[in-house]
A and B are shown apart, each in its own frame.
Chain A
Amino acid sequence: MATADPISEIVTPSAPTSVGLLVLLAPMPIEQMESVLAKLSASFPTEDLLIATPDECRTDSFPSLRIVTAPAATPSSTLTATDFVHAYQLAQKHEAHAILMLGPESSSLDSLALHDLGNAVLTTSTDLAVPHYDLRPHVGLISSAILYPLTRTLFASRIRFPMAIDLGLSLRMAERLASAAQRFIPVDQGEAPLWPVNEATVSGYAIEQFDVARLVQPQPSSPDLNTIFPLVIGSLFSDIDAKAAFWQRPRQLPPARDPAPIILTPCGDAAAEIAPMLNAFRLAYSNLYEIWSLVLPPNSLLGLKRLFALDAAAFRMPESLWARIVFDFILAYRLRTINRGHLLGALIPLYLAWVASHINITASGANPELHIEAVAAAFEADKTYLVSRWRWPDRFNP
């Protein structure tokens, strides 16, 4: 959803008056937009709504809705710095009290989800309303492997999808995010992702999570893991680096939500699914060991050696090993042990090994969410390692 046009080019069909909720829509086909507008009309009083969309929209279908043109946007699977800047500028211009940002394919969200996200920031003291998507087990794996465990461990937040594309923002939350986004705009990095949960936690704002069923997940414009992974993980590592003073202090984790109902899915052919990932890991072990040894301590390298020797059926990466690997990569990112682009590239095969292990575990009948919770718990248990090595990086590390 990164945008290119300046905000000053927005065409406002009516004079700006104070509105309750500004709904910022991602680009989408007209049929989808009409579906979203119908759901919004059913969920909120129409006089409270202001719809901003970059697409052409026939206002005669919804005469009671005020629709303005938002800056043209390119479809993206993440909310970017430019999106947050434009959202806040629009909210300021129209004196909106809260913002609801909806990503691509948001027509697959039900009315209740839209109501929950919008109502939380409009009528309660919640500053950030985040969806808890009801995804299939093998979807959103970067979030399961790295984003969620790190957010939970370092920012004491149980938000399951920190990189959600549908968000409810209070005005002060939008201002905070726009302020954080401003540092990316002058250096022409408007498409960099932001981390609303981290910003809200650091600011002490209230965050609430809502169960949301999303039938369709948008696909990134570039479907290459080698492109997306460094972008997302590099952005998160950079944010962690910038907020080190916050997360080094111990914090109480909020109580866990009610466990989601366990959906038992039939076990598929896990061996066929993980074969390409294991090949990638084994090829990387043969070639990237020298680079990994610059980043990882001997104990982790030994763990990888054992993994390398395992056959596909028995392939399991211990949660503690994965947590230690991610922490060591964060430390190397901070210390610039090697070029950061190289570092993030060298993490991809290890991430694929984790995915293979996760698929194997879920194929054996385990609840995937329980496994992800176990991974996050391993991250929490090893946080002292990250903190101590962050403070004293040169200490002996076996």
Chain B
Amino acid sequence: MHNILATMLQPDPGQPSSVDNASIWNHMSDALHQSLFRILSQLIAILPGILALIVALAIFTLFGMALSALLRHGLAAVRFDDRLARSRTNTDWAPSTSPTALVARTSFWACVLLGLIVGVSAFDASFATGATLPISLLPYFTHITGAVFLLIAGTVIARFLARSVLIAAVNTQLQYARYLSLGVKWLVLVLAGAMALDHLQIGGVVVELTFGILFGGIVLTLALAVGLGSRDLVRRSLESHAEHPGERGGTPLAPPNDGPEGPIRHI
């Protein structure tokens, strides 16, 4: 490659060379050629690293697929799901798939992650010993990965909390349940977005300031909405507590409206 580039950069022997005739275009051409040569040389230097990353990722992905298939068949053979269902009683945290599929997927993605780590290590070593590339590509890549994880986690948490708040607010018969849910969702999303930007070191003080204003604004809005909208609810709750000290809020099991058949009792 070096020879080819050197040949490309050699001046034409048939052309008469003279310092006087050397134009600015020749200087510029030389500069461009040297720059191209330097960049290509640096890319060639990190090519083995990239290749190592791809090979490591491919090998570990294939290994992960094989391990996942093995686990899937093995756990199905020993009826892992049924055994777990018999012993498992906690239903608060429930994955969206069967335990066997969860184990298989986890093993697959663990292998992929391992391949990525091995590949990046190889790339890092090759990068460090290769050319003196001026840009800090690798550290920034890790920051981007972290920021993406932050955003994904923030989105998942925001969705879960928004749904929890919506259902709880509806069952407490709050008329502004949807707004409350939206407020909580955006609160978490803004927090996750600010954290991601901070992780990427983008924006600096502007991001912090904007986040503070947005977060404070949403909290204030929610506080006003809840405070103004819940006056009746709080009044009813206080009256209820004053009349029946043992009872709590929420949909009562026995509403006070006694008909001829007596109070309604769900249990």
Contact = CB atoms under 8 A, between A and B. Distances in A.
B23 interface: no
Interface in B213-267: 246-255, 257, 259-267
A385 to B, nearest CB: 22
A270 B248 contact: no
B183 to A, nearest CB: 14
Interface string A206-225: 00000000000101101111
Interface stretch (B70-78, B88-96, B130-138): B88-96
Interface in B74-110: 85-87, 89-92, 94-97
B267 A220 contact: yes
Interface string A181-216: 001100101001000000000000000000000000
B166 interface: yes
Nearest to B164: A342
Nearest to B91: A340
Interface stretch (A104-112, A166-174, A276-284, A296-304): A276-284
A226 interface: yes
Nearest to B265: A139
Contacts of B170: 280, 283-284, 287-288, 349
B240 to A, nearest CB: 11
Nearest to A269: B259
B265 A339 contact: no
Interface of A: 77-78, 136-143, 163, 183-184, 187, 189, 192, 217, 219-220, 222-229, 232, 234, 238, 241-242, 265-270, 272-273, 276, 279-280, 283-284, 286-288, 291, 336-342, 345-346, 348-349, 352, 355, 359, 362
Contact of A189 (B89, B163, B178): B89
Interface in B145-183: 160, 163-164, 166-173, 175, 177-178, 181
A183 B58 CA distance: 43
A243 B257 CA distance: 39
Nearest to B96: A336
A279 B96 contact: no
In the complex, the 4 A-B pairs of residues with the closest C-beta atoms, listed nearest first: A268-B259, A224-B250, A345-B167, A225-B251
Contact of A136 (B96, B252, B257, B261): B261
Contact of B251 (A139, A142, A226, A339): A226
Contacts of B163: 291, 338-339, 342
Given A238-B91, A272-B257, A340-B94, A136 B266 contact: no
Interface string B43-69: 000000000000000000000000000
Contacts of B254: 219, 223
Contacts, number: 148
B250 A225 contact: yes
A273 B264 CA distance: 8
A36 to B, nearest CB: 22
B171 A348 contact: yes
Interface in B3-51: none
Nearest to B85: A242
Contacts of A78: 267
Given A138-B265, A139-B265, A336-B95, A288 B167 contact: yes
A198 B166 CA distance: 34
B259 A224 contact: no
B248 A183 contact: no
Given A183-B89, A270-B259, A287 B171 contact: no
A138 B249 CA distance: 21
B166 A287 contact: yes
A336 B94 CA distance: 7
Given A138-B263, A242-B85, A352-B251, A279 B173 contact: yes
Contact of A226 (B160, B168, B246, B267): B168
B265 A224 contact: no
A226 B250 contact: yes
B261 A268 contact: yes
A5 B48 CA distance: 67
A217 to B, nearest CB: 7
Given A78-B267, A138-B265, A219-B254, 6 more contacts: A141-B265, A163-B267, A272-B257, A291-B166, A336-B96, A348-B251
Nearest to B90: A187
